Chain A
């Protein structure tokens, strides 16, 4: 449905590999997580905590919170505000996030 728009002659960013729900995908340096998912055909990245309805990235500017995903084990990250990094493990946000234990904060 979506594809990257490139200015003619502009240099493409370096390719980055990441996974979404375990599936290996590729995008480019400079993409946000939400853009990378859309470019790979991912239209659903979360299920709402209230009704369980499927949702996908919408505003792409940090306002609508539809692009929430789990990134490297941390839930409720706004995919449109997080630059993609090589090797990121991205997962569908199923319902409410868990209050995970963080590294460095001793229980």
Chain B
């Protein structure tokens, strides 16, 4: 690694170069800021490398309808983001919005999902979007390859997916083309508010900027208090299987099964609360595979080429945290577990607002102060 070269102070330092940090940095650079990104290296936990790549809205926002609206806004804006990235980088991130299914393998499971969607959409101020409850026959009509065990499904036309590894690469490529200063292997040890700005230090040296954006995923829990913010995030483990590439046969994404634009079938969506453990475990993987084969019997013949696990960045209620420090204005925290779905909002809405100096009202509900009030009855 070469030593960082001295240069003029950036307008903003973004801490974290994953999908959230990459999107924030790209959005800031696009809005005209001189941006420096301080990233960890190849051993970073990096949910951006392990995620399931859905742009997903259905089922989100129970307990916070504003999150459903925020997710839908991003799903709507994703077309613009994909076009921007294609124009700037010539990288096609394979975004599509064909509508997504949640397949249920028993009547009880389907009823539970239907009740959940009813409660979700009965919330006051819930954003309007269409969804359908489909029985086996109607699901089979739309997805001819489902197995006999599929009792039914929930379908929503606003769900979609992307190639998230290409999204990751496109954000970094766009940053580079915008002349941003990307520094890998620069883990941050301390942030010190100083003279109305921030001094950010680590073993690599130090850098100063009038604004700092914390987008360090699970690292935000440690960094946020240094600038008077709170980001009590913890890891939630998810395991993923990918098969060999096959000719396309799944047009739509399911919440647990999707065929990528390159042909591999991903099977995922396990959730475990095991701290920073990232071991792939056979019982979980085999359960996921068994359910996927019951959903799509054709999967049974495919070879699995890789399994892995990654850590979601979960707040206590599962919703994002966006906040500017009141003690040290100019310091912002941005964290969520849906860096793919929300990428369009981060680039197009949040980043320009941060450069302008104030978060928009639409993200006011995502203030971390919500964790410090007693839950209402």
B183 contacts A by Cβ under 8 Å: no
Nearest residue in B to A76 (C-beta to C-beta)? B244
Chain A residues closer than 8 Å to B245, beta-carbon distance = 49, 96-97
Interface residues on chain B, size class = 10 to 19
With A49-B263, A99-B302 known as contacts, the answer to whether A106 contacts B246 (CB < 8 A) is no
**Which residue in B148, B263, B298 is a CB contact (below 8 Å) of A101?**
B298
Interface residues of B in 283-316 (CB under 8 A from A): 293, 296-303
As a 0/1 sequence over residues 336 to 356 of chain B, the CB contacts with chain A under 8 angstroms (1 = contact) are 000000000000000000000
User: Is A74 close to B, CB under 8 A?
Assistant: yes
* Number of A-B pairs, beta carbon distance below 8 Å: 49
**Which residues of the partner chain B approach A96 to less than 8 Å between Cβ atoms?**
245-247, 263
Distance from A80 Cβ to chain B, minimum over Cβ atoms (Å): 15
Q: Is the interface of A mostly helix, strand, loop or mixed?
A: loop
Interface size on A, residues (CB 8 A): 15
Give every chain A residue within 8 A of B276 (Cβ-Cβ): none
Q: In the docked arrangement, what's the CA distance between A102 and B299, Å?
A: 9
Pick the contact of B297 from A95, A98, A105 — CB < 8 Å?
A105
Question: CB-nearest residue of chain A relative to B301?
Answer: A102
The 8 Å CB contact of A99, one of B147, B148, B301, is B301
Measured between C-beta atoms, what is the minimum distance from A52 to chain B in Å?
13
Say whether B371 faces chain A, with CB atoms less than 8 Å apart: no
Most chain A beta-carbon neighbours within 10 Å: one of B145, B301, B302: B301
Q: Is the CB of A102 within 8 A of B297?
A: yes
Interface membership of A1, Cβ < 8 A: no
- B residues in contact with A105, CB < 8 Å: 293, 297, 300-301
Collect the chain A residues with CB atoms within 8 Å of residue B145's CB. Answer: 107
Write the residues of chain B forming the contact surface with A, with a CB cutoff of 8 angstroms: 145, 147-148, 244-247, 249, 263, 265, 293, 296-303
Chain A residues within 8 Å of B, Cβ to Cβ: 49, 74-76, 95-102, 105-107
